[in-house]
Amino acid sequence: MAARFLRLRGCLRAAGARPFSAQASPLQTEQHAPKRPEPSSAKSLIDIGTRRIFTSDHDIFRESARKFFQEEVLPFHSEWEKDGQVSRELWEKAGQQGLLGVAIAEKHGGIGADILSSAVVWEEQMYVNCTGPGFSLHSDIVMPYIANYGSEEQIKRFIPEMVAGKCIGAIAMTEPGAGSDLQGIRTYAKKDGSDWILNGSKVFITNGWMSDVVIVVAVTNREARSPAHGISLFLVENGTKGFIKGRKLNKIGLKAQDTAELFFEDVRLPASALLGKENKGFYYLMAELPQERLLIADIALAGCEFMFEETRNYVKQRKAFGKTIAHLQTVQHKLAEMKTQICVGRAFMDNCLQLHADKRLDSATASMAKYWSSDLQNSIATQCVQLHGGWGYMWEYPIAKAFVDARVQPIYGGTNEIMKELIARDIVSDQ
């Protein structure tokens, strides 16, 4: 782990950049550095070196991440779509490249960079239109629970292996009868001496099939004054007796991402499997969900940027009526509308990223970002498919894959209807 971190820092030093831990914030350095172009005025929405929230250090890291996704992911993704999962070799390569656990503190075995560096990884994966690797969930949803609430023993056991890509993480919240309503969870863990006996099932679990460790959300006190007061989190390792992985689910999109059903039949867990404190799980979930929703929102915006550039290139080449369709005013106006919408969304999204980097992002704002960005992603996907005509409906065209992959974004991480409820609750609250 130390060698990998030093290689990453060495790469930055060789390019004249400061180590991550020594970086000033982009706002602090803004007055002393050349002004960075905004996406609206850049040649491309995915150009490196744009956006004021980033620094040259982030640009160097982005170049490395872009190269990795273009060389190690894109050429193999079609095969992984057929398999319904990526390879384990890819996970270890990502670990060697320093792309896992990027924002996890160095003292816990992580890379020790900032959340903006994690956003670089999220975005670069979307810029190659390859949704198979579940890196973001592993690094920026699962690992923070262990780093923030785990015991020293749990952190030492799991974090270094997860950063190396040798231990794949998942989180099991959703059940057949409980989706966005976390208080409707039925999976139950009861005390048996110092052990726990876990029973229940989960569904739609990203990284579920390949997972080596799963954070399982379970009820531990059925007599609590509200369901929120009786939920706990458990670390369940692959191979534990009674832990059964069901089939890989056949989804309409995210074809290369392993999504599975999980079953727990009298799974005996030691006291050391409890993550954090007993009956505090719901509060941990509420504390961590804003980052999950921010992640989904940024992925959505990056997806919009990819689809726009893909479509711009297509209409400049596709001919109809004796000229490229980019010469048609209706097409030009559609491109103008889409770019404006994406740039407006990016401005808000980058503001949210900066707020989160400063530890000031609240739940309502994260919910706004998630619902608005994922709705925009689906709108842009529909318009881009239309501009591709019949070819946009063909699976071999990247826009077709982007279209179906976008559809789940308003659903997971809390449906967009729930996001509006959370926003509205904040609006009408007297507190």
Q: 85: Cβ–Cβ under 8 A, 6 or more apart, which residues?
A: 132, 209, 210, 248, 256, 257, 258
Residue with tokens 């398999």: 83
- Rg (C-alpha) for the chain, rounded Å, is 22
Calpha distance 269→272 (Å, rounded): 8
Q: Reduce the DSSP state of residue 116 to 3 states and report it.
A: helix
Q: 270: Cβ–Cβ under 8 A, 6 or more apart, which residues?
A: 194, 195, 196
Residue with tokens 């890509």: 165
Backbone angles phi, psi at 40, to 5 degrees: -60, -30
> Which of the 8 DSSP states describes residue 239?
T
Catalytic (active-site) positions: 292
Q: What is the secondary structure of 177-208 as a DSSP string?
A: TBSS-GGG---EEEEETTEEEEEEEEEEEETT
CB 217 within 8 A of CB 281: yes
> Which of the 8 DSSP states describes residue 19?
P
